[in-house]
């Protein structure tokens, strides 16, 4: 089991810390962050230590993202701040995401932390969701049901090996790129989309949730002065209500002549009822154009 250390994810130093022994540990308490899967551990720590919470450190002992990466929070024997009256007895594990975002990889990592905690304690620990010890909806129905099913990991490898859906699209016409505005790229050409993520009718959507996916997008931008700042990102847009959740931002500088932006999401998860789209922005003083582009994506586990 590989754990990304506090130094590796850039943790702030705790203001204070209290420790317990393995004899004090009786349970593992599972949480979710109730934020987007793109949240960083450092942003969660900053919120916990900020003016709204004023805690001494990030509240959880460990955090897990939807790719299954495990991050050291307060660690094995430091008292947490994740569940009142259970911070000494419980090891708090937080999945970064909301209800429905849990992936087999995340579940496998949570189970690995639990198994290692039992090994270190020399006995079995109780498996609990946050709502079992506190009046809250955390960790959401999906994770809570999984915890109460015994944290099963049967057939996870089989699920991970499922053949992904393949999406390949391109632009059919150029788009204006005014200064300081995020522009959603429309994909008028469809080369492959057997699962109908793009819905065979053009438009901006690339992947429809629920799905795990990776994505590569390439666009050509013309009309910018050399050195002009550009940014690209993915967004997940709710099919009802239009709520937008933003993904990681990549930054570029315009070159002489046309500027080519290459953007990649190695792995992420989009929830049910949301669609993945790709956006570009430029911060010059004059309008520009996105004159050409293409995108390719793989998606696993779609409903």
- More confidently predicted of 239 and 143: 143
Mean pLDDT of 62-88: 95
Domain of residue 108, residue span: 3-159
Separation CA 246–CA 236 (nearest Å): 6
List the structure tokens of 231. 């940014």
Instruction: Provide the CATH number for the domain around residue 197.
Output: 2.60.120.40
Contacts of 261 (CB under 8 A, 6+ apart): 217, 218, 219, 221, 230, 232, 250, 252, 280
Note whether 144 and 174 are same-domain residues. no
Angle at 237 between CA 136 and CA 60, to 5 degrees: 35
Q: Model pTM greater than 0.85?
A: no
Mean pLDDT of 181-194: 92
Separation CA 55–CA 17 (nearest Å): 10
Residues of the chain above pLDDT 70, percent: 95
What is the structure's pLDDT at 164?
Answer: 80
* SS percent in the chain: helix, strand, coil, step 5: 15, 35, 50
Give the end of a domain, one of 136, 159, 182: 159
92 exposed, middle or buried (CB, 10 Å; 0-12, 13-18, 19+)?
Answer: buried
* Closest to 288 measured CA to CA, from 280, 300, 296: 280
Domains identified in the chain, total number: 2
Mean pLDDT of 176-200: 89
SS (H, E, C) 69-96: CEEECCCCCECCCCCCCCCCCEEEEEEC
Give the end of a domain, one of 159, 187, 203: 159
Note whether 155 and 173 are same-domain residues. no
What is the structure's pLDDT at 294?
Answer: 96
Phi-psi region of 288 (alpha: psi -120 to 50; beta: other; left: phi over 0): beta
Instruction: Provide the CATH number for the domain around residue 139.
Output: 3.40.80.10
Contacts of 28 (CB under 8 A, 6+ apart): 90, 91, 93, 113, 114, 117, 125, 126, 127, 128
List the structure tokens of 236. 């997940």
- Contact at 8 Å (CB) between 102 and 143? yes
Note whether 89 and 123 are same-domain residues. yes
Of 1-5, 21-25, 287-291, least confident by mean pLDDT is 1-5
Give the end of a domain, one of 159, 188, 215: 159
Note whether 176 and 63 are same-domain residues. no
* 226 band by pLDDT with thresholds 50, 70 and 90: very high
For residue 161, is pLDDT > 50?
no
- More confidently predicted of 303 and 87: 87
Note whether 127 and 251 are same-domain residues. no
Cite the DSSP H helix spans in 152-228: 156-160
- More confidently predicted of 89 and 154: 89
- More confidently predicted of 163 and 265: 265
List the structure tokens of 172. 């059919």
Contacts of 175 (CB under 8 A, 6+ apart): 183, 185, 186, 289, 290
CA end-to-end span of the chain, whole Å?
30
Note whether 169 and 149 are same-domain residues. no
């Amino acid at each position: 089991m590989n754990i990304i250390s506090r130094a590796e994810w850039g943790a702030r130093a705790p203001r204070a810390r209290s420790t317990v022994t393995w004899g004090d540990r009786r349970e593992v308490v599972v949480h979710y962050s109730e934020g987007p899967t793109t949240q960083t551990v450092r942003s969660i720590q900053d919120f916990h230590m900020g003016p709204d919470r004023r805690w001494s450190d990030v509240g959880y002992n460990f955090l897990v993202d939807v790719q299954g990466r495990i991050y050291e929070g307060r660690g094995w024997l430091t008292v947490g701040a994740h569940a009142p009256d259970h911070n000494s007895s419980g090891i708090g594990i937080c999945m970064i995401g909301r209800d429905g975002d849990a992936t087999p990889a995340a579940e496998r990592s949570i189970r690995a932390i639990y198994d290692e905690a039992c090994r270190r304690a020399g006995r079995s620990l109780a498996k609990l969701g946050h709502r079992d010890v506190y009046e809250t909806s955390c960790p959401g129905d999906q994770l809570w049901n999984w915890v109460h099913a015994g944290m099963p990991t049967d057939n996870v490898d089989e699920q991970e090996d499922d053949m992904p859906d393949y999406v390949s699209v391109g632009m059919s016409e150029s788009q204006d790129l005014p200064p300081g505005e995020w522009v959603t790229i429309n994909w008028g050409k469809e080369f492959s989309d057997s699962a109908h993520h793009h819905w065979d009718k053009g438009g901006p959507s690339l992947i429809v949730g629920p799905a795990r996916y990776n994505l590569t997008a390439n666009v050509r931008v013309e009309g910018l002065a050399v050195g002009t700042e550009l940014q690209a990102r993915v967004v997940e847009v709710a099919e009802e209500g239009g709520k937008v959740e933003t993904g990681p931002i990549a930054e570029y500088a315009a070159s002489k002549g046309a500027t080519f932006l290459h953007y990649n999401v190695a792995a992420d998860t989009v929830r049910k009822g949301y669609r993945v789209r790709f956006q570009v922005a430029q911060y010059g003083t004059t309008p520009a154009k996105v004159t050409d582009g293409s995108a390719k994506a793989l998606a696993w586990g779609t409903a």
